[in-house]
Amino acid sequence: MNLTNEQTTTQKQSRRGQTLAEFALTLPILLLLMFGVIEFARIFQAWITLQNAARTAARYAVTGRWDEDDVIAWIEYTNPGDGEGHPLTGEDLKEDVLDDLVPCTNDDDEAFIRHWGKDCEPGSDDDQGLRADMARLPSIVERARTGAAGLSLKPGDNIVGLQRENGSAFNSETVTDEEPGWFHVWICSSRPPVYKTTLSARYEPSSDRNLRVCEDKEESIAAYDPDPDVEGDEVEAVPGPNQYDAGGPGDAVEIIVFFNHPLITPLGLVDFVQLQARRVMINESFRSTRVVNLPPALAQATYTPSNTPPPSNTPEPSVTPLPSATPSKTPTGAPTETTTPTPAPDCDNVRFLGAEMIGQYLQIRVINENEYAPLFIDKVFVNWEKNMVVYPNMFAESMNLIGSTGPRSAFWEGPDYSEDTLAGNTPSGEGVWSNGNSPYLTRRFDNDATTVWQIKFSNGPANLASYFSLGHFVGTTLWLGTSWGALEPDPDTDCMVELTGYTIPEPEPPSDTPELHCEDFVISWGGFDTNGVVRYTIRNTGYAVGYLQGVNITWNARVLDPPLDPISLDFVSAGGTNAFDTAAIIVWDPYPDITTSPADSSALGGWLVDAVIEPNRMINIWFDFDGTTNRLDQIGYHPSDFNGTLFDLSAPDCYGGAGTVDTPIPTLTPSSTPTRTHTNTPTNTVPPANTSTFTATVEKVDTNTPTVTRTHTNTPELVPTATFTQIGGE
């Protein structure tokens, strides 16, 4: 059959149309396969690189080394030179950088306390090692970033839990974990506890590593039931802060490197794929100050719990020879006893060795010379006197023992504001008494050993010896039970240790009492912490004791569309290393939580106690807001939102705040200013030249004026008045 030219042309056009249709159908599949191959290759290459980054960081971490240049990149450090015009180098530079990051002096070292929960002792090798362990973190992160060379990393890192001396976080991230290019190094260790020896380890990583949590268990607060008879009143446990740590010699260190690998092909599915690489290694013995690589069970003695004292070191009885297999009619002697009763403790072998005051603690040393049996404290009476002029709100906070293995957890917790503190496991006892777990370690005075009993006083002098003598505590008595556990005192058998023989020295002739002036207080913005906590600091630069008597806090100073997530003020605490620290004193606990800004403690009630601010010392003031577990700046809040926050301080009456922080966007003038409803105007007019002002100290934030305005306005300006208003407190 012959086709005409017209038919042939039509058939060819039909074939071309069919080819184009088939190509259009197969092209998306072809492109998907091609782009998939490209992306898979890029993801695999990124995963391999990330494995190298984790390995590089871990191998550097186990050496215990750190590079001062890595730390300098994080802190505002200026080389002071050697005094001869030459910059510091080598070990001198390294030591100076470490002093700038975390000082260790004979005074209170706030950066060290904030991180480790205790003060740094310049002569302690362990404390010097803890300082170096803080400096290791930036170097480990930098080695991980170096090992990830070739990846599309965004600049900036976040070393969670590490803070500069001024309290600001080590966070320079430019993108969040929800954006491509985000790079993060999570570091956690099996470090043993630093000061709570009853714990098995200081840190506990989250079971889900994606949460990136390395919880500091020493700073956590256990849950308890205030009243077992009331159903549903249980208090939730407060978790410890998230704090990265590389561990010490012999500790296991775990490092996970996170990276949001960006996709480049136009698949339109997701912007990135999150990759992880993990390494766990054992630190080398880079310090020889403690035994390493020993299981916890080998590091301390263990005790068998029972209702009777554990077996002692009594010489083992002789072994009676087994009878021979040959029958014999010769009568054998009576079998010897295999155990002998452990003798009960003798109170004549319990002696008072002395007492002393160390910082905020009163200590009594007791030696138990009974060779076999321990004693257990079952009652305490503490006779103490308040200095009603200077420290009227001083209180007994806790009691604990110090044994051969170090401090133990508290067996009694206050607060108790009465001058005669009675603690015991009886209805008449004050505070909260804890018998502890078997073998009642928290209350045990070990046999043939010296044990220290101590009580801590808070909201008083930082050094008891500066205002008290041992004569002020004469009559303090410890009851030591001789039965195992000694759950209740027994006056017939208990051994009593009493503080006697000390007198109160004659008072020195009165001298001029130093006066406190408003300008002696320096109030500074501290920053944001996790769990919705806002921190301020107040430093007393004068020579007399000051008090925080009230607060008026402002938040939501800006009006945004959409508005920020609502928050409510739960409580305000003073002192300590964080808002939930047991050393922090809750000064304001309004009920219910406050949801409206500004919040004035004098108008809303709930003020509990005036917080002491010692001369030449600084304390943290913590505002805990409910509504988020993150930092407030992570949900949109800015330091300028708290402009206008004021503190009522005694000098005798001062009212001021930190410097005004520049607002990132225009603010709306509040409809009502936090003006006091009444003012206590001094009868003697203070000349303008002597007007008391507060130093506007705000770390790393520009201020528009070196003084603080007394009214809440958009433009900070000086208000020429010497009128102060007292809020809170009596």
pLDDT for position 511: 55
User: Which three-class secondary structure state does DSSP give residue 102?
Assistant: coil
Q: Return the closest-CA partner of residue 361 out of 442, 465, 479, 504.
A: 465
Q: Any residues with CB less than 8 A from the CB of 578 and at least 6 apart, and which?
A: 114, 219, 241, 529, 533, 584, 622
Q: Is the pLDDT of residue 728 over 50?
A: no
Examine the pLDDT at 307 and tell me if it is beyond 50.
no
**CB half-sphere exposure, 211, CA atoms < 13 A:** 12
pLDDT band at 132 (very low <50, low <70, confident <90, very high): very high
Higher per-residue pLDDT: 657 or 705: 657
The position carrying tokens 């051969």 is: 404
Q: What does the pLDDT read at residue 562?
A: 78
pLDDT > 90? residue 170: yes
Query: 162 pLDDT exceeds 70?
Result: yes
Least confident of 315-329, 473-487, 537-551: 315-329
Helix or strand holding residue 72 (H, E): helix 68-72
3-state secondary structure 423-459: EECCCCCCCEECCCCCCCHHHEECCCEEEEEEEEEEC
In whole angstroms, what is the distance from residue 249 CA to residue 529 CA? 30
Residue 252, both tokens: 């296991």
90-101 vs 125-147: helix axis angle to the nearest 10? 100
H or E element that contains 184: strand 183-189
- Split at pLDDT 50, 70, 90, the class of 97 is very high
Q: What is the pLDDT of residue 225?
A: 59
pLDDT score at 720: 37
First-to-last C-alpha distance (Å) of the chain: 118
What percent of the chain has a predicted confidence (pLDDT) above 70? 76
pLDDT at residue 233 in the model = 60
Between 94-103, 232-241, 242-251, 619-628, the lowest mean confidence (pLDDT) is in: 232-241
- Quick one: average pLDDT of 204-224? 87
Nearest to 284 by CA among 447, 76, 2, 60: 60
pTM equals: 0.43
Among candidate residues 691, 689, 728, the one with its CA nearest the CA of residue 708: 691
For the chain, the farthest-separated pair of C-alpha atoms sits apart, in whole angstroms, at: 137
CA-CA-CA-CA torsion sign (698, 558, 594, 582): negative
**Tens digit of each residue's pLDDT (9 = 90 or more) over 249-295:** 989 999 999 999 998 877 667 889 999 999 999 999 887 544 333 43
Q: State the burial class of residue 2 (Cβ atoms within 10 Å of its Cβ: 0-12, 13-18, 19+).
A: exposed
Higher pLDDT, 695 or 590: 590
With beta carbons less than 8 A apart as the criterion, state whether 424 and 379 touch: yes
| Strand locations in 530-577 (E) | 533-540, 546-553, 568-574
Query: Do the strands 585-588 and 477-481 form a parallel or antiparallel pair, or are they unpaired?
Result: unpaired
Beta bridge partners of 617: 540
* Residue recorded with tokens 């916890």: 296
Q: What's the confidence (pLDDT) of residue 259? A: 96
Count of helix runs (H) and strand runs (E) in the chain: 7, 30
Contact by Cβ (8 Å): 401, 444: yes
Residue 106 has pLDDT above 90, yes or no: no
Burial class of residue 217 in the structure, from the number of CB atoms within 10 Å of its CB (0-12 exposed, 13-18 middle, 19+ buried): middle
Q: Pairing relation of β-strands 521-529 and 695-698?
A: parallel
Give the pLDDT of residue 513. Answer: 61
Give pLDDT, residue 338.
Answer: 44
Verify cis geometry, omega within 30 degrees of 0, for the bond prior to 563.
Answer: no
Q: Which amino acid is at 663?
A: T
Strands (E), 283-384: 350-358, 361-368, 375-383
What's the rounded mean pLDDT across residues 98-109?
Answer: 90
Rounded-to-integer distance, Cα 217 and Cα 196, Å:
9
Query: Who's near 416: CB < 8 A, 6+ residues apart?
Result: 395, 396, 430, 431
Q: Give the per-residue pLDDT at 270.
A: 83
* CB-based contact 455:355 (threshold 8 Å): no
> Is the Cβ–Cβ distance between 599 and 553 less than 8 Å?
yes
Higher-confidence residue of 232 and 585: namely 585
User: DSSP assignment, residue 519?
Assistant: G
In this structure, what are the phi and psi dihedrals at residue 688, rounded to the nearest 5 degrees?
Answer: -55, -30
Cα–Cα dist 98/142, whole Å = 17
For residue range 501-531, what is the model confidence (pLDDT) as tens digits? 888 877 655 555 677 788 888 888 888 998 8
Domain ranges of the chain: 50-282, 347-498, 518-698
When comparing pLDDT for 703 and 364, which is higher? Answer: 364
| Mean pLDDT score across all residues of the chain | 79
Over residues 326-332, the mean pLDDT reads 43
Instruction: Compute the distance between CA of residue 572 and CA of residue 565 in angstroms, rounded to an integer.
Output: 20
Please, which residues bridge with residue 346 across strands? none
Q: What is the pLDDT of residue 267?
A: 66
Give me the count of residues in the chain.
730
| CB-CB contact of 242 with 186 (8 Å) | no
- Closest C-alpha among 49, 64, 52, 71 to residue 253: 64
How many Å apart are CA 221 and CA 215, to the nearest integer? 12
Give the pLDDT mean for 683-709. 39
CA distances from residue 151 to 43, 183, 260 in whole angstroms, order as listed:
10, 10, 10
| Secondary structure (3-state) at 190 | coil
Q: For residue 509, what are its two tokens?
A: 């002739």
What pLDDT score was predicted for residue 300? Answer: 38
Quote the pLDDT of residue 291.
39
Counting Cα atoms < 13 Å in the Cβ hemisphere of 205 gives 20
Q: Specify the pLDDT at position 465.
A: 81
Peptide bond into 103 cis (omega under 30): no
187 has pLDDT over 60? yes
Q: Which fold has domain 347-498?
A: Immunoglobulin-like (2.60.40)
Task: Report pLDDT for 354.
Answer: 86
For 556-608, how does the pLDDT look when each residue is reduced to its tens digit (9 = 90+)? 767 777 778 889 999 999 988 888 887 788 999 988 889 888 888 888 888 88
Tokens in use for 163? 């803070």
- For residue 258 the two structure tokens come to 């996170």
Which of 327-331, 347-351, 428-432 has the highest mean predicted lDDT (pLDDT)?
347-351
Residue 10 binned pLDDT confidence (cut-offs 50, 70, 90): low
Q: For residue 685, what pLDDT band results from cuts at 50, 70 and 90?
A: very low
Asked if 602 contacts 557 with a C-beta cutoff of 8 angstroms, the reply is no
